[in-house]
A and B are shown apart, each in its own frame.
Chain A
């Protein structure tokens, strides 16, 4: 049995500093945007009283959903005992925590009163799914932190599986909570569907893995460490399965909605005549974010090609952002059914308009930058990455 040796990256190259500087610039731009938005008030954003959650929420929820999904690799190793994934477990935990931190940063900084965060931490309404989520997010940091400790500390390795199971269950509850933010909103036609919770779980599998694959391939390429096909091809297959599963949930969600007469209006809006939302749904989410990645992953001409897997992962992420844009903003743009059987002539009922501003975009991108800079820094100070994931190392470990 070969032993996996973990090693910090050197992090002294020009490329490393360029990466940190680039990410730092994005973070500064995000902080500048926050100052601009908070100083002036949200009137400088595209958000309004109808589109109350805008582009920052799209990024925040994308990152939070992806965070729980990124932990899957560790879960597969310790909960389902697939040893080939074991060397990736530490990185999996790290990516999960980093993505969650980035997502929460965006979420908090888009509050009307981010200075009152302490109230959110001390005043709980236990009927609120938001309040549950605050507990679930904090708990996730704690549990995954302990999980990482079990992995790093040799004498704690024996608890790895138990903590891994706890973390796995916690992350399922967490994404259920995130999906339920929308699933329980009875007033809005686009939401109010219990299927949103499992759909969000499947989305987290796909988005988190896509992010993980990119981080893994980039860090091994840039540090010139060997990364064999055995692991990469398995991750590629897994990504394909997850993307297909998301498509399945999306199909069931929309077919289920179409069956109910009360929801045909919103379905027509999203699927047929919703302008930007319809385009984002078909071209962004379905074609670019699902069908092309599936083709890249499974087509014999591109299968096993790392650049193509990288491209597929980028497309899954972009498709995921498009999907959340359609769910969050499209779902708000379509008016609520205030008077069934009546037509509203004045005062309410138009499709709400939303055009995101640069500040909102920079805040969202800042969240991704925070996640990436945290990963970049931590792989330098702690041994998260195996020095080699060449096939003979990874695979022999698998067979043992």
Chain B
């Protein structure tokens, strides 16, 4: 009888502890991905970015890259070689083969409406928020790298080494995949992504694509813009003009 009671107590304690840990763990996980305010993320918004390559200078792009590194804490890896180091955003220089015109642009996760990375991820770690931001849940990522195979924009990086000194809002981990989060942690506080803030000119505009009063919506209505690999029909959130 005594034994039975003990077992029951044990089960009760274990269950309570498990439930407690699960609750806290869930909270920790979600804090990165859900709006910091009380409002849940909805599809009433679709966050996007417009990069004007006519106005964007090479040094602007360098500024964007360092702002991203500083905000999200990548780029200080010591063991990885150049091809292994993470690269959430990078500078691309392209030349039109017919006109020889050269354009510079910043390339990062394009936050597709139909993201191939989300389609292929076996564990739902790659996911798209209702407001269009594409993220990796670091707690679910098993490091299979299938999303990196599927991404048409070379936008994702695999963490090849142990990391220290991480940002509180951006848990990163050896053996998982990561990419631009469109600074979801800032956007949820009504701020702009770090790269956009750093450039601080109309060369890069961030905003809600669906909001008819937003600068990005108005500008996209007015100027000719393009999506990279528009032929894939992924309907990217990041758009470019001048290329």
Contact = CB atoms under 8 A, between A and B. Distances in A.
Contacts of A42: 84, 158, 160, 175
B83 A48 contact: yes
B122 A124 contact: yes
A16 B121 CA distance: 43
B158 A49 contact: yes
Contact of A187 (B81, B145, B232): B232
B153 interface: yes
A119 B144 CA distance: 12
Interface in B82-104: 83-87, 90-98, 102
Contact of A123 (B84, B85, B123): B123
Interface string A187-216: 110000000000000000000000000000
Nearest to A134: B122
B56 to A, nearest CB: 14
B152 A53 contact: no
Contacts of A119: 123, 140, 142
Nearest to A128: B122
B142 A49 contact: no
B119 interface: yes
B123 A125 contact: yes
Interface stretch (A238-246, A268-276, A347-355, A358-366): A347-355
A147 B134 CA distance: 44
Contact of A343 (B80, B94, B160, B174): B94
Contacts of B145: 52-53, 112
- Majority secondary structure of chain A interface residues (helix, strand, loop or mixed): loop
A347 B91 contact: yes
A186 interface: yes
Q: Which of A53, A181, A187, A344 gathers most chain B CB within 10 Å?
A: A187
A125 B119 CA distance: 8
Given A43-B79, A187-B232, A120 B123 contact: yes
A49 B87 contact: yes
A295 interface: no
Contacts of B148: 49, 52
B11 interface: no
23 contacts: A38-B175, A40-B79, A41-B79, A42-B175, A48-B84, A49-B154, A50-B83, A51-B83, A111-B175, A113-B176, A116-B143, A119-B123, A123-B140, A124-B122, A181-B146, A185-B150, A186-B152, A338-B154, A338-B229, A339-B243, A342-B95, A345-B94, A347-B92
Given A41-B160, A119-B142, A120-B122, 9 more contacts: A53-B149, A123-B140, A125-B118, A338-B92, A340-B231, A342-B95, A344-B93, A345-B93, A347-B93
Interface of A: 38, 40-43, 47-53, 111-114, 116-117, 119-120, 123-125, 127-131, 134, 181, 185-188, 332, 336-348, 352-353
Q: Can you list the 6 inter-chain pairs with the closest CB atoms, starting with the nearest?
A: A112-B143, A112-B175, A187-B152, A48-B83, A347-B92, A130-B122
Interface of B: 77, 79-81, 83-87, 90-98, 102, 107, 116, 118-125, 140-146, 148-154, 156-162, 173-177, 228-229, 231-232, 243
